[in-house]
Chain A
Amino acid sequence: MSLDRVKPIYDVVVIGSGPGGLGAAIAAKKNGADDVLIIERDNELGGILVQCIHNGFGVEIFKEDLPGPLYAHRFIQEANSLGVEVLSDTMVLDITPLRKITAVGKRAGFVELEARAIVLAMGCRERTRAQIRIPGTRPAGIYTAGTAQRFVNVEGYMPGNRFVILGSGDIGMIMARRLTLEGAKVERVLEIMPFLTGLTRNYVQCLLDYNIPLELRHTVSRILGNYRVEAVEAVEVDENWNPIPGTEEIIPCDTLLLSVGLIPENELSRKAGVILDPNTGGPVVDESMQTSVSGIFAAGNVVHVYDLVDWVTEAGFIAGKSAAKYAVEMKKGISRQVKLVAGANVRYIVPQYLDSESLAESDQRIQLRVVRPIEEKVWVEVTDGEHLITRKLERYVRPGEIVTIKIPKKAYDEVQKADKLVVRVTRS
């Protein structure tokens, strides 16, 4: 169910609609949350699965070997049938520690809303050339593997003809096969580590099957070409990743793909005051996937980068269930609480809320300050908005002096029925 406008408050708001976000939204609905909203910046649901057209998804959860879009489709269908609301084309700008969300997008414009619980499911993004500091010129033809994947699988562009891929992560190897199937030549996959960093099955079905050479302990030491990549210089490295002189090799190519790691995307988490773990790059979480900020949960690659999508979905289930529980408990809490409203000549009242069950045990004392002094006898009255519940005579009231009044135990039934208690101070 896609929206053009949102409610002011939701039980659970999920940021992101990849496998973690979809799992969280589904689990939140199944565990008692009434209003669940996904906010997604893209124009469709599924996150990165939209471009992961290869198979290998769902082996754990469905015991089936599914392509990424089909895996996403199943959860999108389930979220829809459960009544999860979706606000797409919308970018979340800010989240406060008290769970106020600010977002902007073409569907609903500028929106502000509140969530009783939030699930952060923003996923991760790719490390870039700047982050691994490859020397050389800055020509066209250098992409992260995921960007090339989006071009080839979704938008229908080939980013080049002759490729070198740096990094033996899964996306890099999967793109090596994909580009080969689309008619490109993949000259080499280079890996700086002495071992493969992706799954072995991908080495077999993506590289071996297509005779694409893999070189371990190798990296790119230089990029050549002024307007377009013309070649890269590959070099062998020692155990400290230092290039070994004399091992340089110029590999002619027109495109370099980087598959050199993923980083959890946590700008919003930081704004919300969530503590991050320097080792994972994601929020510190407990067993319920709650972050260091109460009521804010996190799921999937935003926490740490998983090997399998099935595990991301399962993390989403846990976070969504926990978020629903948190929201439901909060609502129960509020519904038992009666708000104390400042009426005529009252500036404020403490406490602001009264737990109606508290009157079963004892009288409850409330304190207030008046707006203006009244130097004669006044009634301090507590009403349910219409009917008097209790009152007290004071000889005078002054803003500098707190006024105290007790709500008696015998008012239990009346307070149970009230949705608010209005306190006012008037001349007798």
Chain B
Amino acid sequence: MSEMETKIICITCPVGCSLVVTHEDQKVIKVEGNQCRKGIEYAQNELRDPRRMVTTTVKVKGGLHPLVPVYTSAPIPKPLIFELIKKLRGVELEAPVKVGQAILKDFLGTGVDVLAARDLPQVGQKTSETGSG
């Protein structure tokens, strides 16, 4: 197995460093171009097991809006993204929804939960996030 150079862009923060990763298959030998330590970790994960945070919406009955935004509590493996989206498409919640409420627990054994990203009051209910009566 010989050494290879792969160029990737770190997405950990808005800086977006261009990394040059020297590796043997999935084993990272050297990372260049990173401005912080997160770049090294990102490069390692990106070669071995690329993961992404996923944000989407799920349906809500009787809420201020017909949808509530949700997010994964940690990045999930890239190949599972569409499976998660499909699973969440079948979910329908009842308002009110509380921020941080678990919509889905331990998705496919990854240990990652899907959480509500905001409070969504019932129609006609007053909460901190709305002035709406």
Give chain B residues whose Cβ lies under 8 Å from the Cβ of A201.
9-11, 13-14, 16
Q: How large is the interface on A (under 10, 10 to 19, 20 to 34, 35 or more residues)?
A: 35 or more
Contact B131 A307 (CB under 8 A): no
C-alpha gap A55/B82 in the complex (Å): 17
Q: Which of A40, A89, A181 has the most CB of B within 10 A?
A: A181
From B53, B56, B126, B128, A76 is in contact (CB under 8 Å) with B128
Q: Which of B10, B57, B59 has the most CB of A within 10 A?
A: B57
Within 8 A of A (CB), among B57-86: 57, 59, 64-67, 69, 71, 78, 81-82, 85
Give chain B residues whose Cβ lies under 8 Å from the Cβ of A40.
131
In the complex, what's the smallest C-beta–C-beta distance from A168 to chain B, in angstroms? Answer: 14
Contact B56 A2 (CB under 8 A): no
Interface contact tally, CB-CB below 8 A: 106
From A44, A200, A204, B130 is in contact (CB under 8 Å) with A44
In the complex, what's the smallest C-beta–C-beta distance from B124 to chain A, in angstroms? Answer: 12
Q: Which of A88, A201, A203 has the most CB of B within 10 A?
A: A201
* SS of B interface (majority): loop
C-alpha gap A70/B101 in the complex (Å): 12
Known: A73-B119, A307-B14. A55 touches B57 (CB 8 A): no
Within 8 A of B (CB), among A1-21: 2-3
Contact A80 B128 (CB under 8 A): yes
Q: Is A69 an interface residue (CB 8 A)?
A: yes
Q: Is B48 an interface residue (CB 8 A)?
A: no
Within 8 A of A (CB), among B109-133: 117-119, 126, 128-133
User: 21 A-B Cβ contacts within 8 A?
Assistant: A2-B126, A44-B132, A53-B55, A53-B57, A53-B117, A54-B55, A55-B53, A55-B55, A59-B14, A68-B117, A72-B118, A73-B99, A88-B131, A107-B131, A107-B133, A154-B67, A156-B57, A156-B59, A181-B82, A200-B18, A204-B16
The residues of B with any CB-CB pair to A shorter than 8 Å are 8-11, 13-14, 16, 18, 52-53, 55-57, 59, 64-67, 69, 71, 78, 81-82, 85, 99, 117-119, 126, 128-133
Q: Which 7 residue pairs are nearest across A and B when measured between Cβ atoms?
A: A88-B131, A200-B16, A53-B69, A2-B131, A69-B118, A201-B11, A43-B132
